């Protein structure tokens, strides 16, 4: 029987062509929203799932991952229980069995990343990894790490890979892409499936009181810029925007790391003040009175010098009074009235999506629409006290799809991928400068039926700049995509085309082969499960990472050596709130406690005199006898930890302390605790030993040959275990 249910699926010609092309190469598929990228993924997966091979599909959110799982269950001749949504809620002891027993997996990249670090994923059993919303594969996003760890064929899907050639090629290189399949709305094989989508740019005018308040705040900001110019940090005070200020802050921080200069401390504080004022201006311009008022009011609870300086500024006080007056008069933002006016044009059974950048605006818009007797509901992320759980998100989307709500007001979580068909109107409460996000938002309409997009722009504000920025980036992206369509991959990605892993050098491949051969004898480091950035770096090295929740220290490299990692800013904060010495005292149970400080701006954080910081360091080193190591970032931290572990475990032949901080309370925990006392056996390997041999007795009587077959137990560990079990007590 074919894995693909050909009776149910109604593929289009372009989908079949793309799927065939992507069946044996690492492929980036760029296809407008609503044209069936997921169906292409199903078709490619059906080819790769033959002979019981596994596939993995990832998406940025759990609702989207769950949606993909439902689609695969519908169109594949695979038992439904073999297609599994993996979540962080699954018990650790069950995860390895799930990854081993099932065939298709759907998850957020964070879940996959954590299980790869912990060694739970049998990578060798997978034949395909699918990256949905692949434009995210930049920087330190989990997709990049997962691609490095999973040495299998890739399929990457997106409607908008980036606004420049550099961004698009970064995605391609990070996912080892050697094949592009690009379709635009103008391609002849796609055009018949594109519905009309009319974009309406709606200008709204701010009244005199708004503009007066804005002018006062901009004057307050100029005061800070003039001071920065007098300090030699700015050449001009004209046209300095938020991006410029953020860049300047980074430059000053870099200078502070090299010299202790009071003028630089003053400058970085002025930048912080200017940024706070700039944020208030943006909220008033683009969102409304309530959002701006609440933000300025919140500065009262901000104990920083930057916040108090902003509030004490005479022009800022005048602006605050004007905004307070507008609020008492019931004024909000003309965009709110315009949104109501637009949505009043909806048919009785029509649907609309309203997008806004700010959660507070979601609340304001939703409440206003309800006051106008519209059936509106909010759709927001999980963070914060009033956030929506993933279960609530999925339920709301089901209700919206079934016609239980007419309007959904959403933050950026609603932009990507979610299946919300037949939306008649999409309203941008503000333009976004990102071409990727602009395309994602607009793609929510004009899918099965024609639709309209409305973009609200406040005149003479940064809205206008964002509009032109998005237009330019979109135009540039279309130009780059056209180039990709017309050129061969070897002319686009540096280096000649190779196999599916063509961007890995031969040396890297040889190193990986050597790592695989010695997997059982790797050094081990116990990592606190909140230290994910360093855990990722360690897992790329010859290190067996055991993630646990540690009560003391952040890393254990042997039974004697524990490491507390503090970023420079956190180190200074821990001096102020007295955490530092409480943590240092707790680490005295280890004979070799180490404090590792990460970062090079130790003296540029908070208003703490450098001598106080030096005094704390002296106390740590002399009074508590604790070594202090310095690291310039999480990669350097991982390298140092690896060196420490090798020194302790290989040169000194010490075991790692992997026992639980808390006493075991169940039989299962007690069994793992006992087996975890064997040389080189962490909780993860203890679990594998018990699953292989069933009982503690069987583990202890297992032969050398039987032991070394267990993942994570090489010849060295198997020999040490057998020798210890046979050795007499003296």
CATH of the domain at 96: 3.40.50.300
The confidence band for 495, taking pLDDT boundaries of 50, 70 and 90, is very low
- Residues 312 and 416 occupy one common structural domain: no
In a domain, 298, yes or no: yes
User: 42 and 133: one domain?
Assistant: yes
* pTM of this structure: 0.70
Among 294, 328, 362, where does a domain finish?
Answer: 328
For residue 605, the SS3 value is coil
Model confidence at 502, pLDDT cuts 50, 70, 90, reads: very low
pLDDT value at 375 more than 90: yes
**Nearest-angstrom CA–CA distance, 397 and 61:** 13
Domain-ending residue, one of 438, 460, 482: 460
Q: Do residues 94 and 152 share a domain?
A: yes
Tell me: pLDDT of 425 over 70.
yes
Cα–Cα distance for residue pair 637/172, rounded to 1 Å: 28
Q: Judging by DSSP bridges, how do beta strands 523-528 and 555-556 pair with one another?
A: antiparallel
Residue 508 lies in a domain: no
CA distance 28 to 17: 14
Note whether residue 447 is domain-resident.
yes
Sheet with 592-598, edge to edge strand ranges: 543-548, 523-528, 555-556, 561-567, 592-598, 627-631
Q: Is residue 286 part of a domain?
A: yes
Same domain, 221 and 189: no
CATH at residue 569? 3.40.50.10130
Residue 708 in contact with residue 571, Cβ under 8 Å?
no
Share of the chain above pLDDT 90, in %: 44
Residue 409 in this model has a pLDDT that exceeds 70: yes
Do 358 and 317 have their domain in common?
Answer: no
Residue 496 forms part of a structural domain: no
What are the pLDDT digits (tens) for 225-255? 999 999 999 999 998 988 899 999 999 988 8
Average pLDDT over residues 617-645: 92
Residue 273 lies in a domain: yes
> Residue 233 maps to which CATH number?
1.20.1320.20
131 and 247 inside one domain:
no
Q: Which of 628, 657, 686 is the last residue of a domain?
A: 657
Residue 189 shares a structural domain with residue 63: yes
Rounded to an integer, the average pLDDT of 436-462 is: 66
Under the phi-then-psi rule, with left for phi > 0, alpha for psi from -120 to 50, and beta for the rest, what region is 495?
left
Same domain, 65 and 42: yes
Q: Are 142 and 165 contacting, i.e. CB atoms less than 8 angstroms apart? A: no
Same domain for 157 and 290, yes or no, is no
- Do 524 and 671 sit in the same domain of this protein? no
Q: Which of 40-54, 268-282, 472-486, 716-730 shows the lowest mean pLDDT across its residues?
A: 472-486
Q: Per the domain annotation, does 613 fall within a domain? A: yes
Q: Are residues 186 and 214 in the same domain?
A: no
Instruction: Say which DSSP state 662 is in.
Output: S
Retrieve residue 295's tokens: 């933000």
Domain count across the chain? 5
Ordered DSSP codes for 224-270: HHHHHHHTTS-S--TT--HHHHHHHHHHHHHHHTT---HHHHHHHHH
- The set of residues, in sequence order, having a beta carbon less than 8 Å from that of 476 and lying 6+ positions away, is 163, 164, 435
Kindly report the backbone phi and psi dihedral angles of residue 332, in degrees, each rounded to the nearest multiple of 5, phi listed first.
-125, -105
Give 721 or 603, the one with higher predicted confidence: 721
- Nearest one of 99, 106, 67 to 85, comparing CA atoms: 106
Is residue 486 assigned to a domain?
A: no
Answer yes or no: do 600 and 684 share one domain.
no
Lowest mean pLDDT among 90-94, 150-154, 296-300, 395-399: 90-94
DSSP conformation class of 654: P
Parent domain of 426: 197-204+337-460
- 3-state DSSP assignment of residue 625: coil
pLDDT > 90? residue 185: no
CA distance between the termini of the chain: 64
Check if the beta carbon of residue 519 is closer than 8 Å to that of residue 712: yes
């Amino acid at each position: 029987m074919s894995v693909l249910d050909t009776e149910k699926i109604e593929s289009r010609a372009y989908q079949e062509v793309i799927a065939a092309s992507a069946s044996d190469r690492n492929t980036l598929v760029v296809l407008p929203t609503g044209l069936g990228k997921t169906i292409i993924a199903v078709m490619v997966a059906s080819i790769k799932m033959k002979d019981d091979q596994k596939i993995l599909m990832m998406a940025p959110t759990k609702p989207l991952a769950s949606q993909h799982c439902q689609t695969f269950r519908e169109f594949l001749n695979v038992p439904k229980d073999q297609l599994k949504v993996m979540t962080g809620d699954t018990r650790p002891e069950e995860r390895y069995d799930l990854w081993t027993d099932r065939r298709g997996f759907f998850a957020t990249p964070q879940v996959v990343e954590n299980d790869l670090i912990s060694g739970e994923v049998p990578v060798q059993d997978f034949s395909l990894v699918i990256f949905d919303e692949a434009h995210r594969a930049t920087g330190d996003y989990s997709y990049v790490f997962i691609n490095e760890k999973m040495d299998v064929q890739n399929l990457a899907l997106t409607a908008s890979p980036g606004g420049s050639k550099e961004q698009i090629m970064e995605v391609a290189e990070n996912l080892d892409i050697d094949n592009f399949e690009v379709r635009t709305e103008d391609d002849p094989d796609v055009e018949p499936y594109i519905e009309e989508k009319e974009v309406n740019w709606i200008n709204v005018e701010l009244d005199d009181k708004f503009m007066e308040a804005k002018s006062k705040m901009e004057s307050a900001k100029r005061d800070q810029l003039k001071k920065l110019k007098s300090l030699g940090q700015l050449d001009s005070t004209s046209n300095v925007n938020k991006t410029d200020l953020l860049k300047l802050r980074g430059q000053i921080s870099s200078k502070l790391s090299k010299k202790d200069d009071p003028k630089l401390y003053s400058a970085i504080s002025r930048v912080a003040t200017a940024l706070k004022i700039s944020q208030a201006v943006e909220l008033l311009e683009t969102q409304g009175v309530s959002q701006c008022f609440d933000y300025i009011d919140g500065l009262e609870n901000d104990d920083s010098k930057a916040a108090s300086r902003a509030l004490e500024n005479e022009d800022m006080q005048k602006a605050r009074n004007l905004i307070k007056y507008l609020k008492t008069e019931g004024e909000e933002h003309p965009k709110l009235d315009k949104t109501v006016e637009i949505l009043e044009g909806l048919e009785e059974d029509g649907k609309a999506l309203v997008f806004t950048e700010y959660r507070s605006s979601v609340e304001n818009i939703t409440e206003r629409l309800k006051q106008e007797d519209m059936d509106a509901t909010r759709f927001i992320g999980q963070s914060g006290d009033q956030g929506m759980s993933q279960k609530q998100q999925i339920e709301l989307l089901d209700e919206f799809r079934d016609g239980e709500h007419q309007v959904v007001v959403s933050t950026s979580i609603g932009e990507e991928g979610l299946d919300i068909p037949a939306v008649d109107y999409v309203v941008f409460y503000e333009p976004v400068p990102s071409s990727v996000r602009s395309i994602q938002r607009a793609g929510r309409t004009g899918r099965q039926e024609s639709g309209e997009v409305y973009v609200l722009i406040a005149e003479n504000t940064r809205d206008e700049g964002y509009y032109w920025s998005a237009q330019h980036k979109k135009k540039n992206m279309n130009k780059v995509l056209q180039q990709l369509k017309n050129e061969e991959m070897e002319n686009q990605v540096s280096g000649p085309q190779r196999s599916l892993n063509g961007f890995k050098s031969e040396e890297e491949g040889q190193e990986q082969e050597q790592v695989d051969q010695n997997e059982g004898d790797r050094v081990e480091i116990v990592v606190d499960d909140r230290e994910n950035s360093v855990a990722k770096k360690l897992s790329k090295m010859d290190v067996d990472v055991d993630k646990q929740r540690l009560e003391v220290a952040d890393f254990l490299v042997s039974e004697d050596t524990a490491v507390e990692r503090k970023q420079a800013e956190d180190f200074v904060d821990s001096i102020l709130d007295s955490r530092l010495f409480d943590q240092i005292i707790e680490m005295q149970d280890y004979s070799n406690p180490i404090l590792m400080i990460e970062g090079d701006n130790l003296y540029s954080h908070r208003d703490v005199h450098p001598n106080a910081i030096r005094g704390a360091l002296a106390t740590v080193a002399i009074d508590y006898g604790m070594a202090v190591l310095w690291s310039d970032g999480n990669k350097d931290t991982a390298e140092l930890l690896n060196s420490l572990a090798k020194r302790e475990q290989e040169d000194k032949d010490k075991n790692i302390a992997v026992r639980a901080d808390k006493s075991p309370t169940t039989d299962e925990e007690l069994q793992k605790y006992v087996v975890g006392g064997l040389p080189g056996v962490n909780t993860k390997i203890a679990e594998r030993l018990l699953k292989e041999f069933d009982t503690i007795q069987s583990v202890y009587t297992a032969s050398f040959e039987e032991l070394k077959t267990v993942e994570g137990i090489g010849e060295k560990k198997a020999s040490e275990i057998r020798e210890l079990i046979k050795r007499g007590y003296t």
